[in-house]
Amino acid sequence: MSSPAQPASAALVAAPPFPEADRAAVYRAIHSRRDVRSQFTPRPVDDATLLRLLDAAHHAPSVGFMQPWNFIVIRDNGVKGRVQAAFAEANAEAATLFPAERRPLYSALKLEGITAAPVNLCVTCDRSRGGPVILGRTHAPEMDLYSTVCAVQNLWLAARAEGIGVGWVSIFREGALKRILNLPDQVVPVAYLCLGHVDELHAEPELQARGWRSRLPLEDLVFHDGWGQRDG
């Protein structure tokens, strides 16, 4: 009896550290990335640039190499208008959920750039992709959603390098985007993004600059070998 065929070994390539200038560029993109709502210019995003961003997103890691994402590019003003209306309805509800003393600041924040951005992008997760049993997802079914978020982050950092601002809009009633964009039952919207050229960005996250929240100290968030355990 012949033995089962063995899979071919995957080829390996060298993986040295990046040159210093390249490393600095990666960290610069991470540290200077901002959630953009009001700095979009009217300059259109050309197809070649958009394709590079989508390709960066498509090269994100995904558990079991499932690649559960799709990308819905939205330029139609009618679709944008329906999405903006869905946001406005949910945002009015959201304002009432905060303590009374925070509501004036909440209402003063601009939390979307849907109609101002030349391009909107809905990043979705197909929860049926790859079939019912997927390597790495057998005991953690939410890994397809987490993988899709990795694609969003890839796109966001690539956009920063291209001079493209990105804003994530998340204030929608459940099911609103599925209805507007005609998503199949097994497909869920993970991120609704606004994209456009920017000439300037906030020096720090806008919510921090406006006094909503501050960045937590890193040293308060790092434990060693178990929850709550500090080094030394």
d(C-alpha 84, C-alpha 167), whole Å: 14
User: Is there a contact between 180 and 63 (Cβ–Cβ < 8 Å)?
Assistant: no
Counting runs of H as helices and runs of E as strands, what totals does the chain give? 7, 4
CA distances from 93 to 1, 36, 172, 186 (A): 68, 22, 10, 27
Domains of the chain: which residue ranges?
A: 43-209
Q: Flag whether pLDDT at 38 surpasses 60.
A: yes
- The CATH number that domain 43-209 falls under is 3.40.109.10
d(C-alpha 152, C-alpha 162), whole Å: 15
Confidence of residue 161 (pLDDT cuts 50, 70, 90): very high
pLDDT, the chain, mean: 95
Q: What is the pLDDT of residue 4?
A: 61
Q: What is the pLDDT of residue 231?
A: 80
Instruction: Write the pLDDT tens digit of every residue in 44-69.
Output: 999 999 999 999 999 999 999 999 99
Q: Flag whether pLDDT at 158 surpasses 90.
A: yes
Share of the chain above pLDDT 90, in %: 95
Instruction: Write the pLDDT tens digit of every residue in 111-132.
Output: 999 999 999 999 999 999 999 9
Rounded to an integer, the average pLDDT of 14-40 is 97
Confidence of residue 41 (pLDDT cuts 50, 70, 90): very high
143-162 vs 47-58: helix crossing angle, rounded to 10: 140
Q: What is the pLDDT of residue 21?
A: 98
Q: Flag whether pLDDT at 232 surpasses 80.
A: no
Q: Give Cα 64 distance to the centre of its chain.
A: 20
Q: What is the pLDDT of residue 110?
A: 94
The label of the residue with tokens 């978020």 reads 149
Instruction: Write the pLDDT tens digit of every residue in 180-205.
Output: 999 999 999 999 999 999 999 999 99
Tokens of 44: 């259109």
Q: Which of 158, 61, 63, 76 is nearest to 121 (CA)?
A: 76
Angular region, 67: left φ>0, alpha ψ -120 to 50, beta rest = left
DSSP secondary structure letters along 9-78: PPP----PPPPHHHHHHHHHHHHH--B-SS-B-SPPPPHHHHHHHHHHHHTS--GGG---EEEEEE--HH
Q: Flag whether pLDDT at 2 surpasses 60.
A: no
**Which residues partner with 192 through β-bridges?**
122, 169
